[in-house]
Amino acid sequence: MSEAISVRKQRIARKRGPNELTPTANLLVNVFFWIYTAACIMPLVLVIIVSFSDEKGVLIHGYNFIPEAWSLEAYKFMFKDWHQILRSFGISVFLATVGTAISLVMMSLYAYPISRSDFPHRSFFSFFMFFTMLFNGGLVPWYLVYTQMLDLKNTIAALMLPLLVSAFFVLLLRTFFANSIPMPLIEAAKIDGAGEVRIFSQIIIPLSLPVLASVGLFQVLNYWNDWFLSLVFISGSKNINLQFMMYKTMLDIQFLTSNVQASQGLSQAGGMLQLPTETVRMAMAVLGIGPIVFAYPFFQKYFKKGLTVGAIKG
């Protein structure tokens, strides 16, 4: 019996690779990452639960995973102006999709030439892009360029153009093109009669999907989370995006709840000021992060290496 057990242990030891973990170590690693994942997910779950909680219960008992009472008042309060929410949501979706697509095209067209060793002016244009990471013209000249020279105030273009090109992402794309795209592949395409446009569109872009997906995901997040451009360039409520609309709503609620004169005026008129604050803040967070959560799985399938393996065969 003991000999059979020892033989079985030897077989298991022989099957285990040099870098393979023991069952105990593997269990500990899995438990650690389960705990870490739960620690990342629980705050999001708490935000969702509080958004469906009763305002009075939150103010009295604080944030709880099991609220004293459930309520939809926060969402009812938000969607009273559903026309504005729908319009701002559409603007944010438009900026996140169209703006990201145009941004990827522009940055790729700039990064690819400066990644080529046979491009004579690559050093100048690389330094030109790198210089913008270190210095800028300042907030006032930046504002005057978009409002007076380009006359883009109160337009959706003012929310898109400032984020179209990022110097860091351009240099990231250049590094990928220079280190991951084999030059013999480009030379072989030239021998077969392909021009630069065809090489870029049919060879470079398909092989660069991982880095394009990474940069695209960050650009989607930049457009979706931006509220500063709406604050600077949009004076009305027609063309504001979702993030600035929620930011503006929270400022209005804080002003009304902290303004004594407004409360006294409503009391004298026979009314009563009861605005949800904590639950509305959480409901806005749910509304803001909900759609963008679905963007990551779309890009995730491109985060794989090895697309250039086998492109050149000896």
C-alpha 103/C-alpha 155 separation (Å) is: 18
Amino acid at residue number 155: T
Q: What percent of the chain has pLDDT over 90?
A: 23
pLDDT of residue 144: 92
Q: Per-residue pLDDT for 283 more than 70?
A: yes
Range from 11-25, 74-88, 225-239 carrying the lowest mean pLDDT: 11-25
pLDDT of residue 27: 87
Query: Measured in whole angstroms, how far is the alpha carbon of residue 238 from the centre of its chain?
Result: 24
> pLDDT class for 55, splitting at 50, 70, 90?
confident
pLDDT of residue 309: 35
Domains of the chain: 16-75 (no CATH), 77-300 (1.10.3720.10)
C-alpha 72/C-alpha 52 separation (Å) is: 6
**The total number of residues written for the chain in this structure:** 314
C-alpha 268/C-alpha 20 separation (Å) is: 75
Which is more confident, 263 or 207? 207
Which is more confident, 97 or 17? 97
pLDDT of residue 160: 93
pLDDT in tens, 138-155: 889 899 999 999 999 989
pLDDT in tens, 10-43: 555 555 556 677 788 888 889 999 999 999 889 8
